[in-house]
Structure 1
């Protein structure tokens, strides 16, 4: 899949070394970073999907996630993590009706539509499919998971922690629900 991405001008132009925006990021484990400190592109690709759907490229573009992280997990096997990064000061900045369409566009239009010839090829498999909303509106990184869940109870973040059916997506036989993750979550 990585060769197809590199050979596709529209996708190769989206390749990045990091998945970050507004001081919110996802980290990459050391095994996926080379001796030069850069990503090992034979093991991981990070595509900045929202750059594909930008107003400079199309009139009135649909909303999309920030990053698609693709990790080679075996011979002709890849894991996909779709990441929406939200740097907000409180949970009022997390509006589900604005977040869900970003995943809709990326799964239905980007993966299964425009680039289906790359992402839905039958000669490789998808080992996992994750959907992450990465945010910490309350700056609670130092809390335990139990404390965090207690503070989030009754807020919009609780919906993402519980993962309802309305937040589910299917891609190539894998089902995933949008999950809330704290900034700095690691992919490996």
Structure 2
């Protein structure tokens, strides 16, 4: 009985090793695993709004940029090694994808907008200043401001507001966790702030 248990345990451990190696060696599987990890992906509903925050590791961001530029999945690791300087740029930041949407799936960029001028002001803020709406509150009560952002303007083709927010990674070296905080200034989310907690240990696994 003991030998059978030992055999089952060894089989289980071997499965973990093989699956881990497979994930590490296959960029697309790596990206899919990141997207499915519940510790990296969080969502909150408030009234008619739905806000999701997704941590994205450096390697994930680098892979995605290479895919956008037409690199074939089988060549991602090879190309990533060739553009190591670009990878270093990603390594200097802590990346989060934020999606703000309406539960009824209407276009949130147009939410509450009555004229073209108001629409232009909203889009300008999303392009230029929305990173001020986000910050991290670390476990040692340090407030970490975003260092930059990228807003994906679909020009009416999509219904969501998608933003990549970047924070300086060195400010999190000595903390166990942090809250990703969103203080809305443009959509009228009727709440002082939305908070999403992340465990640094879970993030470092990737």
Q: Give TM-score scaled by structure 2 length.
A: 0.28
Structure ranking higher in helix proportion: 2
Structure with bigger gyration radius: 2
